[in-house]
Structure 1
Amino acid sequence: MSKQKIAVLGPGSWGTALAQVLNDNGHEVCLWGNLPEQIEELNSQHKNTLYFKDIVLDDKIKATLDLEEALRDADAVLFVVPTKVTRLVAKQVAECLEHKVIMMHASKGLEPGTHERLSVILEEEIPSDLRSDIVVVSGPSHAEETIVRDITLITAASKDLEAAKYVQKLFSNSYFRLYTNTDVIGVETAGALKNIIAVGAGALHGLGYGDNAKAAVITRGLAEITRLGVKLGADPLTYSGLSGVGDLIVTGTSVHSRNWRAGDALGRGEKLEDIERNMGMVIEGISTTKVAYEISQELGVYMPITTAIYKAIYEGADVKESILGMMSNEFRSENEWH
């Protein structure tokens, strides 16, 4: 693939790691953010110490506070901003963009209030004459491992297979591989909902339970997020792939996962506001739990793990009682979907 110019919106841990992948592939990368000290550090020291203490980035990766500058002459735009500001940033992009681009996002969540997936938000806010069909970049990936070029396999999903193939070529190299998929609903719901199950897996660990309980919550968690996804129009097979079970494994078993760490702290009895303050990063699983619980109630989808975590976070229920109650009350056939 010839050299492309990519605007990466959001210099968080994942945005920074993906910017490095794109730079490794010979593309021109411009990171856009709104924290002056972070942008200054990226440009002068080629570091992002807020997320990676010891990593020095290639000096070809540029950073800017000016969205117009980031978007100028870009071939593709990658959103990697928190769910709660995706719509706001999309509106700003729509105002600044002057030509058509390949539009991608690599965030995982559902919008509070509207319950919308992130690709839907981008479709609503950015006119179709300025963008391709949205390509979702999602799968089992810790930024902390991608930034040191560990082997990572994830998914590029779009209703337009050609757009997905473009993104596949854009990112793929010897350590970072993308597989294409056209099930956008499945890939996005898997990426968002697995964060809830990761909070549950972390909570079990914090409560002192071992691998048996972890396997149980991950496996039954996959069943319930598949139930909800299928109800929303997803292909159930997607949940057996990289963006489904793959992402659930990596997020539900690792100290790198902020959702797992948040659950672990909840299980140990820490208060949610303290956890969020100490983390210093967005914990998507917390807000996604509320959205998923509301959708499950609205559509009548059985989601006991999500319900247990919702009650512990939002209704002040005892974490141990909520999760153990859920585990002990679920008498169902294993292959029951409804």
Structure 2
Amino acid sequence: MSKKIAVLGAGSWGTALAMVLDENGHDVRLWGNNVEQMSEINNDHCNARYLPEIQLSKSIKGFTDLKLAVEAVDVVLFVVPTKAMRSVAHQVASVLTSPAVIAHASKGLEQETHKRISEVLEEEIPEELRKAVVVLSGPSHAEEVAVKDITTITSASTNLAGAELIQSLFMNRYFRVYTNEDIIGVEMGAALKNIIAVGAGALHGLGYGDNAKAALMTRGLAEISRLGVAFGAQPLTFIGLSGVGDLIVTCTSVHSRNWRAGDLLGKGHNLQEVLDNMGMIVEGVSTTKAAYELAKQKNIEMPITEAIYDVLYNKTDVKEVVSHLMTRDGKAES
């Protein structure tokens, strides 16, 4: 049965997800605050800045009026940067007039509070306006979803019916969705893998090979698991799609802006130059700070995260932190 869905955030990922929903026969309203971009979506049926050379369906409608976008919808899907999540959720709460499933497909931790995105949504949107809170996450590049490459991700919620609804909305021949009730693990894996992706890019920029990258990803996954479990995640979640799956795709692809940012750092650019060059949000930068502070709070050892924090926030040389990681005292793997 066709559903009315508001997709909030018309970047590459929001647009790609809107394309999947539209292909599956749903009424898709794509919201953004850039008037020219929405006009391009409605009149030229493209989103040239974020998905160049991709033609959008004429049935995907762009909105700048949030109240109109969420009017009488079954699902509100947030795909905005983490730093904007609370503000947009607050606005949605003020204009949403009937209960809806609240979902998000963003990856990060809120600065200062260190809260997961679902926690932010629950705080800002009253319980009577949300049927469920669901996370959509996993190994996925918008550029590949937009051309219908095979993709498999996770729909996670403590409300299994909500997770199954989101699963049913997206499932098709190239986009497969599994359900998961460990929302903490799925969100922590999604956020923290961006830190390791920055490190993987830095190794590439320095000229290191596959051995180094495999070591970083493996030990990085151990850090992600340690911190996630400390906050209530299930350990097995981190060997699933939103854990190791997302880690692999983000640490090995030029499509990943976190990997590209790390690559530039490894080649000697400073952080401000990197961010200016990217032109889009690099979630791994802010997530590194949040994870570093959480690890200190919980007294959890996260040497890779600490090393990347030193590069990003203390301007430590990348080669120096790699040398320090490799010459630490020996210890058991587990």
Normalised by the length of structure 2, the TM-score is: 0.99
Q: Residue type matched to 1:62 in 2?
A: K
The whole-number CA distance in structure 2 between the counterparts of 1:51 and 1:30 is: 17
Identity of aligned residues (%): 61
CA deviation string 1:102-149 (max 9, x = no partner): 110000000000000000000000001001221000000000100000
Structure 2 unaligned segments of length 5 or more: list them. Answer: none
Q: How much does 1:319 deviate? A: 1.0
Moved over 4 A (4+): none
Match of 2:154 in 1: 155
Q: CA deviation at 1:330?
A: 5.6
Q: Please show how residues 33-112 of structure 1 align to structure 2 within 5 Å.
A: 33-112=32-111
Aligned to 1:282: 281
SS of structure 2 residue aligned to 1:132: strand
- The 3-state SS of whatever aligns with 1:246 is helix
Deviates more, 1:323-332 or 1:12-21: 323-332
Determine if contact 1:5/1:75 at 8 Å carries over to the other structure. Answer: yes
Please, which runs of 5 or more residues in structure 1 have no aligned partner?
none
Residues 42 and 48 in structure 1, CA contact (< 8 A), matched pair in contact too: yes
**1:54–1:330 CA distance, 2 compared to 1 (3 A):** farther
Distance between the aligned counterparts of 1:331 and 1:81, measured in 2? 42
Verify the 8 A CA contact 1:20 1:57 in the aligned structure 2. Answer: yes
Residues 283-302 of structure 1 mapped to structure 2, 5 A cutoff? 283-302=282-301
Q: How far apart are 1:231 and its partner, in Å?
A: 0.5
Opposite residue 60 of structure 1, the aligned amino acid is S
Contact 1:226-1:239 at 8 Å conserved across structures: yes
Which residue matches 1:15?
14
RMSD, matched Cα: 0.7
Query: 1:256-276 CA distances to partner (integer Å, 9 max, x unpaired)?
Result: 000000000000001111111
What residue number does 1:134 align with?
133
State how 1:135-284 maps to structure 2 within 5 Å.
135-284=134-283
1:8 and 1:32 in contact (8 A); partners too: yes
Deviations 1:146-195 (A, max 9, x none): 00000000000000011100110010000001100000000000000000
Please give the secondary structure, in 1, of the residue aligned with 2:247. Answer: helix
Q: For residues 183-235 of structure 1, give each alpha carbon's deviation from its aligned partner in whole angstroms, at most 9, with x where no partner exists.
A: 00000000000000000000000011000000000000000010000001100
CA contact (8 A) 1:305 1:323 kept: no
Instruction: State the 1:325 CA deviation.
Output: 1.1
1:86 is matched by which residue type in structure 2? Answer: M
Q: Judge conservation of contact 1:17–1:147 (CA < 8 Å) in 2.
A: yes
CA contact 1:309–1:323 (8 Å) conserved in 2: no
Aligned residue for 2:46, secondary structure, equals coil
